[in-house]
Amino acid sequence: MNNYTNDNTARRYKAHVSILGTTQLHLRNPYIIAWWSAAFPGFGHLILSKYFRGYVLFIWEVVVNINAHVNLSMIYSFQGNIDLAKEVLNTRWLIMYIPVYLFAIWDSYRTTVDMNRVYLLAEREEHRFNSFTLGALEINYLDKRNPILSLIWSLFIPGLGQLYIHRILTAFFVIIWLVIFFYYSHCLEAVSLLFLGKIKEATSVLKPEWLLFIPSHYGFAMYDSYINTVENNKLFEKELRNHLKENYQASGFRISKGQKVK
């Protein structure tokens, strides 16, 4: 591994390895990022590693959604109880909810487009970046990991896939909020009653407005860990290839196009 550091002497870097994780620029589909923001405001920004903005939008979504009874209204709509769905909505909170929800979708799309442009410039400039960091609390370095394992660990408990690839900030955030969602939805209590065959009791203890957060949480954790594992592997391969070329390839080495090696 090299000893390069991101010391802001270059205009743009493709990646940065710190004790809290590996952050990198790579091409993303802005429509997919916008979709994740629509599924749950904040997720699109977290995929982009825009952590503070993502945290604010995520917490806003939970607080305002619960107080506006958006999830509860959605559940009644799914059941065909349209009148009840309208009745439970709290307009004092709902009017605040809509503009921020739309902003999250628009801003994640706009940011993705901008970051794709920055990536293309950084790729052209080819400045070296650090690939190893050693601190008092953690060690992080570029290496290859299995994206399927990231997916499986996230399927067990969201956040474990992020821990596997050393995406510490996202991992802690996802795990903490998973515990909150499990606690307030009584999901695990319902699962225990279900195993005991008490189906009606299991259904009655559930808090659907909190339960509805969990599928998006699982989906995000699985997608984020898988995609970042794939991209980290690409980054590792390219960094290693450049390192080997600089330090071990003969300066006069050439590959002649169209000629077979005998």
* Domain extent listing, the chain: 15-241
Amino acid in the structure at residue 232: N
Render pLDDT for 186-244 as a digit per residue (tens, 0 to 9).
999 999 999 999 999 988 999 999 999 999 999 999 999 999 999 999 999 998 888 88
Looking at the predicted structure, is the pLDDT value of residue 13 above 90? no
Looking at the predicted structure, is the pLDDT value of residue 2 above 70? no
What number is the average pLDDT over the span 96-123? 95
Considering the entire predicted model, what is its pTM?
0.89
Cα–Cα distance measured from residue 158 to residue 65, given in angstroms and rounded to the nearest whole number: 21
Mean pLDDT of the chain: 91
| Least confident piece of the model among 69-73, 74-78, 245-249 | 245-249
Render pLDDT for 129-180 as a digit per residue (tens, 0 to 9).
888 999 888 999 999 999 999 999 999 999 999 999 999 999 999 999 999 9
Q: How confident is the model at residue 50 (pLDDT cuts 50, 70, 90)?
A: very high
Cα–Cα distance measured from residue 29 to residue 139, given in angstroms and rounded to the nearest whole number: 31
Residues of the chain above pLDDT 70, percent? 95
pLDDT at 1: 43
